[in-house]
């Protein structure tokens, strides 16, 4: 389901600005001062500097290292990229939560047309982004994309449509708990594809962040079982193996779709991606829903205000999800988005307390905090790219992209 590909990090940069070194001039060396933040000896002619050196030298190196921690934390929380990853990721997660809530409301009203619901989203994408692409002048317009790249976008749209269908279909055969856990299989898929296709170079902190996020998701699922919110799951799982296989296959396709999205929105633009996805997605999804849900759609009472409201709410959330996810993936990465949306289960549970009468448990907030901790760890360092050199260069590139996105040029 996601246009989803994503993450660079600014916060965990090693190096707090180094202090300069001076050489004595005209006979005699200058007094030396140890700079605990840079671990260098600075030269200074000021009075009393020798005493300062002696007093600082009394502290062991471990104490000086501890002094660096607040500065590192300060730099992290002042990082523009860090906050982009956290806040934009949670915004996307809330939109995903909205689709889940409205789907639940439709299901409670006896309406089960997931393919038809997604069809309306693809049509909206086609009516907006495809039309803009058709009116575009230049090399990357609709005609060029159709002539030169039609088969690529057809495959991407096929992966996106079938990922949505397989995961939703999995709920008919297995438990909600299984789907929640297996759906995060898209994360290792995106990680692997990012390394081999997008040439991303991850550090240990990125893998640790991902693992912490998955642990937090496991805490949400475990708390769900403890609170009894999914206690009827076992009675609604006629074929758990089939359901689990469908969920894993859907997550695999999500990972492929998200990685392809990241490549396109970062090398071209989101209008091209969403326009072509809307065009081919409408075609594939439309054929599929006519074949699979033509009888169900004829039984829906569209004269009911609740039905129309819930359906419009779902389509609006899904449309915004696709539209905004492309922006978030460009600003961060597909990986960032995939780990961020793990918190969608927490937001859904919060809404479920009021709408579906879920039972509250304090561990929900603990698990949510663990997920946020994992996102913070992952976002603390900007992943590099092979041949790029260092995370500092990646960070500089992100600053340049930020300026381009804001319309900043050298001419002002």
What's the pLDDT at 176? 75
CB atoms within 10 A of CB 192: 12
The helix or strand, by DSSP H or E, that contains position 243, with its residue range, turns out to be helix 240-267
Plot region of 383 (φ>0 → left; ψ -120 to 50 → alpha; else → beta): beta
Residue 294 to residue 113: CA distance in whole angstroms: 9
Tell me how far apart the terminal alpha carbons of the chain are, to the nearest angstrom.
Answer: 39
DSSP assignment of 105-145:
HHHHTT---HHHHHHHHHHHHIIIIIHHHHT--SSSSHHHH
Spans of the chain, pLDDT less than 70? 1-78, 228-238, 387-412
Of the candidates 182, 224, 163, the one whose C-alpha atom is nearest the C-alpha of residue 349 is 224
Domain positions in the chain are 78-403
What's the pLDDT at 234? 52
What's the pLDDT at 237? 61
What's the pLDDT at 53? 43
pTM: 0.75
What's the pLDDT at 348? 85
Residue 274 to residue 255: CA distance in whole angstroms: 17
CA distances from 231 to 175, 177, 179, 221 (A): 10, 10, 15, 12
Residue 395 to residue 254: CA distance in whole angstroms: 27
Residue 12 to residue 382: CA distance in whole angstroms: 8
Long-range contacts of 403-412 (CB under 8 A, 24+ apart): 405/330, 405/331
What's the pLDDT at 55? 42
Q: pLDDT of 313-324, one tens digit each?
A: 999 999 999 999
Cβ 83 vs Cβ 398: under 8 Å: no
CA distances from 156 to 152, 153, 187, 284, 319 (A): 6, 5, 18, 11, 17
Burial of 404 (0-12, 13-18, 19+ CB in 10 A): exposed
Cβ 356 vs Cβ 32: under 8 Å: no
What's the pLDDT at 104? 84
What's the pLDDT at 11? 37
């Amino acid at each position: 389901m996601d246009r989803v590909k994503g993450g660079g990090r600014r916060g965990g940069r090693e190096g707090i600005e180094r202090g300069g070194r001076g050489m004595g001039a005209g006979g005699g060396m200058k007094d030396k001062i140890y700079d605990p933040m840079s671990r260098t000896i600075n030269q200074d002619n000021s009075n009393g500097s020798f005493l300062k050196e002696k007093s600082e030298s009394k502290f062991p190196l471990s104490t000086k290292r501890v002094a660096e921690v607040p500065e590192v934390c300060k730099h992290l929380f002042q990082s523009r990229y860090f906050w982009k990853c956290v806040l934009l990721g949670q915004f996307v997660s809330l939109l995903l939560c909205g689709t889940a809530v409205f789907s639940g409301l439709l299901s409670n009203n006896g309406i089960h047309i997931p393919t038809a619901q997604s069809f309306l989203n693809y049509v909206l994408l086609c009516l907006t982004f495809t039309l803009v692409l058709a009116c575009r002048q230049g090399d990357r317009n609709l005609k060029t994309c159709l002539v030169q790249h039609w088969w690529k976008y057809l495959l991407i749209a096929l992966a996106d449509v079938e990922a949505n269908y397989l995961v939703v279909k999995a709920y008919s055969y297995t438990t909600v708990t299984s789907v929640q856990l297996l759906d995060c299989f898209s994360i290792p898929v995106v990680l692997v594809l990012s390394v081999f296709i997008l040439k991303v170079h991850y550090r240990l902190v990125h893998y640790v962040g991902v693992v912490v996020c998955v642990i937090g998701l496991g805490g949400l699922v475990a708390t769900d079982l403890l609170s009894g919110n999914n206690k009827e799951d076992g009675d609604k799982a006629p074929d758990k193996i089939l359901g689990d296989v469908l969920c894993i296959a859907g997550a695999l396709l999500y990972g492929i779709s998200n990685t392809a999205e990241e490549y396109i929105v970062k090398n071209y633009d989101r209008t091209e991606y969403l326009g072509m996805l809307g065009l081919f997605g409408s075609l594939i999804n439309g054929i599929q829903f006519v074949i699979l849900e033509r009888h169900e759609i004829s039984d829906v009472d569209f004269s009911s205000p609740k039905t129309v409201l819930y359906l419009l709410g779902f389509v609006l959330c899904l449309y915004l999800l696709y539209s905004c996810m492309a922006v978030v993936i460009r600003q961060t990465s597909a990986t960032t988005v995939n780990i961020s949306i793990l918190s969608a289960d927490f937001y859904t549970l919060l809404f479920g307390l009021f709408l579906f009468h879920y039972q509250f448990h304090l561990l929900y907030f603990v698990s949510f905090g663990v997920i946020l901790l994992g996102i913070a760890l992952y976002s603390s360092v900007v992943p590099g790219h092979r041949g790029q050199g260092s995370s500092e260069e990646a960070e500089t590139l992100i600053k340049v992209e930020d300026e381009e996105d804001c319309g900043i040029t050298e001419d002002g």
